[in-house]
Amino acid sequence: RRQRQMCIRDRFCYCMGKEEIEVRDIEAICTTQITNKIFEMVEAVAVRNQKKALDYYYDLLALKEPPMRVLFLIARQCNLLLQTKELKSRGHDNKTIASKIGVPPFAAGKYVAQASHFKTSVLKNAVKQCVETEEAVKSGRMNDMMSVEILILSVLPS
Protein backbone atom coordinates (compact mmCIF):
# COMPACT_ATOMS: atom_id res chain seq x y z
CA ARG A 1 0.00 0.00 0.00
CA ARG A 2 2.79 2.41 0.87
CA GLN A 3 4.51 1.74 -2.46
CA ARG A 4 1.25 2.50 -4.32
CA GLN A 5 0.87 5.82 -2.44
CA MET A 6 4.42 6.80 -3.37
CA CYS A 7 3.75 6.02 -7.03
CA ILE A 8 0.59 8.18 -7.08
CA ARG A 9 2.32 11.00 -5.23
CA ASP A 10 5.24 10.93 -7.68
CA ARG A 11 2.86 11.53 -10.59
CA PHE A 12 1.78 14.77 -8.98
CA CYS A 13 5.26 15.86 -7.97
CA TYR A 14 6.43 17.07 -11.36
CA CYS A 15 9.49 18.82 -10.00
CA MET A 16 10.37 16.26 -7.38
CA GLY A 17 14.09 16.12 -6.85
CA LYS A 18 14.75 19.50 -8.48
CA GLU A 19 16.46 22.17 -6.44
CA GLU A 20 14.63 25.01 -8.17
CA ILE A 21 11.27 25.24 -9.93
CA GLU A 22 11.51 27.12 -13.22
CA VAL A 23 8.88 29.03 -15.21
CA ARG A 24 8.89 26.35 -17.90
CA ASP A 25 8.01 23.74 -15.23
CA ILE A 26 4.96 25.73 -14.24
CA GLU A 27 3.95 26.35 -17.86
CA ALA A 28 4.31 22.64 -18.60
CA ILE A 29 1.75 21.58 -16.00
CA CYS A 30 -0.61 24.56 -15.79
CA THR A 31 -3.36 25.36 -18.23
CA THR A 32 -4.93 28.75 -18.65
CA GLN A 33 -8.61 28.97 -19.39
CA ILE A 34 -8.38 31.49 -22.23
CA THR A 35 -11.82 30.54 -23.51
CA ASN A 36 -13.41 31.48 -20.19
CA LYS A 37 -11.68 34.86 -20.18
CA ILE A 38 -12.85 35.59 -23.72
CA PHE A 39 -16.46 34.84 -22.87
CA GLU A 40 -16.23 36.88 -19.65
CA MET A 41 -14.81 39.82 -21.60
CA VAL A 42 -17.49 39.57 -24.26
CA GLU A 43 -20.10 39.37 -21.48
CA ALA A 44 -18.66 42.56 -19.94
CA VAL A 45 -18.89 44.24 -23.35
CA ALA A 46 -22.49 43.07 -23.68
CA VAL A 47 -23.52 44.45 -20.30
CA ARG A 48 -21.53 47.63 -20.99
CA ASN A 49 -19.05 47.33 -18.13
CA GLN A 50 -16.09 49.21 -19.56
CA LYS A 51 -13.64 48.67 -16.70
CA LYS A 52 -14.29 44.94 -16.49
CA ALA A 53 -14.13 44.57 -20.28
CA LEU A 54 -10.75 46.32 -20.39
CA ASP A 55 -9.44 44.26 -17.47
CA TYR A 56 -10.36 41.05 -19.28
CA TYR A 57 -8.89 42.38 -22.51
CA TYR A 58 -5.55 43.09 -20.80
CA ASP A 59 -5.65 39.61 -19.23
CA LEU A 60 -6.20 38.12 -22.68
CA LEU A 61 -3.27 40.09 -24.09
CA ALA A 62 -1.09 38.85 -21.22
CA LEU A 63 -2.14 35.31 -22.14
CA LYS A 64 -1.03 36.00 -25.73
CA GLU A 65 -4.54 35.93 -27.21
CA PRO A 66 -4.48 37.66 -30.63
CA PRO A 67 -6.27 41.02 -30.56
CA MET A 68 -7.94 40.26 -33.90
CA ARG A 69 -9.58 37.18 -32.40
CA VAL A 70 -10.88 39.33 -29.55
CA LEU A 71 -12.17 41.83 -32.11
CA PHE A 72 -13.93 39.03 -33.98
CA LEU A 73 -15.66 37.87 -30.81
CA ILE A 74 -16.78 41.40 -29.89
CA ALA A 75 -18.14 41.88 -33.42
CA ARG A 76 -19.95 38.55 -33.27
CA GLN A 77 -21.51 39.41 -29.92
CA CYS A 78 -22.67 42.84 -31.13
CA ASN A 79 -24.13 41.28 -34.26
CA LEU A 80 -25.96 38.59 -32.28
CA LEU A 81 -27.36 41.21 -29.92
CA LEU A 82 -28.54 43.33 -32.85
CA GLN A 83 -30.25 40.35 -34.48
CA THR A 84 -31.81 39.36 -31.16
CA LYS A 85 -33.14 42.87 -30.54
CA GLU A 86 -34.67 43.07 -34.02
CA LEU A 87 -36.26 39.61 -33.77
CA LYS A 88 -37.65 40.36 -30.31
CA SER A 89 -39.15 43.63 -31.57
CA ARG A 90 -40.96 41.62 -34.26
CA GLY A 91 -42.55 39.51 -31.54
CA HIS A 92 -40.50 36.33 -31.82
CA ASP A 93 -40.16 34.12 -28.75
CA ASN A 94 -36.80 32.99 -27.34
CA LYS A 95 -36.95 29.56 -29.00
CA THR A 96 -37.46 31.11 -32.43
CA ILE A 97 -34.75 33.70 -31.78
CA ALA A 98 -32.32 30.93 -30.79
CA SER A 99 -33.07 29.05 -33.99
CA LYS A 100 -32.68 32.10 -36.22
CA ILE A 101 -29.41 33.38 -34.73
CA GLY A 102 -27.90 29.91 -34.35
CA VAL A 103 -27.44 29.65 -30.60
CA PRO A 104 -28.69 26.99 -28.18
CA PRO A 105 -32.20 27.68 -26.84
CA PHE A 106 -30.93 28.17 -23.27
CA ALA A 107 -28.72 31.05 -24.48
CA ALA A 108 -31.52 33.00 -26.15
CA GLY A 109 -32.84 34.36 -22.85
CA LYS A 110 -29.39 35.69 -22.03
CA TYR A 111 -29.12 37.41 -25.41
CA VAL A 112 -32.61 38.90 -25.03
CA ALA A 113 -31.68 40.26 -21.60
CA GLN A 114 -28.38 41.70 -22.85
CA ALA A 115 -29.97 43.21 -25.96
CA SER A 116 -32.55 45.01 -23.83
CA HIS A 117 -29.72 47.16 -22.40
CA PHE A 118 -29.02 48.65 -25.84
CA LYS A 119 -30.89 50.80 -28.32
CA THR A 120 -30.94 49.33 -31.83
CA SER A 121 -29.02 52.35 -33.13
CA VAL A 122 -26.23 51.74 -30.58
CA LEU A 123 -25.90 48.11 -31.65
CA LYS A 124 -25.84 49.04 -35.35
CA ASN A 125 -23.14 51.59 -34.61
CA ALA A 126 -21.14 49.01 -32.61
CA VAL A 127 -21.23 46.53 -35.52
CA LYS A 128 -20.17 49.32 -37.88
CA GLN A 129 -17.29 50.29 -35.55
CA CYS A 130 -16.12 46.66 -35.41
CA VAL A 131 -15.96 46.54 -39.22
CA GLU A 132 -14.13 49.88 -39.36
CA THR A 133 -11.67 48.72 -36.70
CA GLU A 134 -10.89 45.53 -38.59
CA GLU A 135 -10.40 47.49 -41.80
CA ALA A 136 -8.08 49.99 -40.06
CA VAL A 137 -5.92 47.18 -38.69
CA LYS A 138 -5.79 45.20 -41.92
CA SER A 139 -4.93 48.29 -43.97
CA GLY A 140 -2.13 49.17 -41.53
CA ARG A 141 -3.66 52.43 -40.32
CA MET A 142 -3.92 51.18 -36.71
CA ASN A 143 -2.13 48.83 -34.34
CA ASP A 144 -4.25 45.75 -33.56
CA MET A 145 -3.90 45.88 -29.76
CA MET A 146 -4.67 49.55 -29.46
CA SER A 147 -7.52 49.43 -31.97
CA VAL A 148 -9.47 46.88 -29.90
CA GLU A 149 -8.89 48.93 -26.76
CA ILE A 150 -10.21 52.04 -28.52
CA LEU A 151 -13.19 50.03 -29.77
CA ILE A 152 -14.05 48.91 -26.24
CA LEU A 153 -13.78 52.49 -25.01
CA SER A 154 -15.84 53.93 -27.85
CA VAL A 155 -18.60 51.31 -27.90
CA LEU A 156 -19.09 51.28 -24.14
CA PRO A 157 -19.96 54.25 -22.00
CA SER A 158 -17.93 54.43 -18.80
pTM, rounded to two decimals:
0.72
Start-to-end Cα distance in the chain: 60
pLDDT of residue 3: 42
pLDDT of residue 5: 40
pLDDT of residue 49: 86
**Cβ contacts of 18 within 8 Å, gap of 6 or more:** 25
pLDDT of residue 1: 44
pLDDT of residue 32: 53
Mean pLDDT, the chain cut into blocks of 10 residues (158 residues total):
41 62 66 65 79 90 89 89 95 95 90 88 92 96 94 74
The torsion defined by the Cα of 69, 73, 74 and 75, in degrees rounded to 10, comes to 100
Q: How many angstroms separate the Cα of 108 from the Cα of each of 54, 60, 100, 135, 151?
A: 25, 26, 10, 30, 25
Length of the chain: 158
Cα angle for residues 106, 107, 109 (degrees, 5° grid): 85
pLDDT of residue 87: 96
* Torsion sign over Cα 92, 128, 126, 134: positive
* CA–CA separation, 6 and 38 (whole Å): 39
pLDDT of residue 88: 96
pLDDT of residue 116: 87
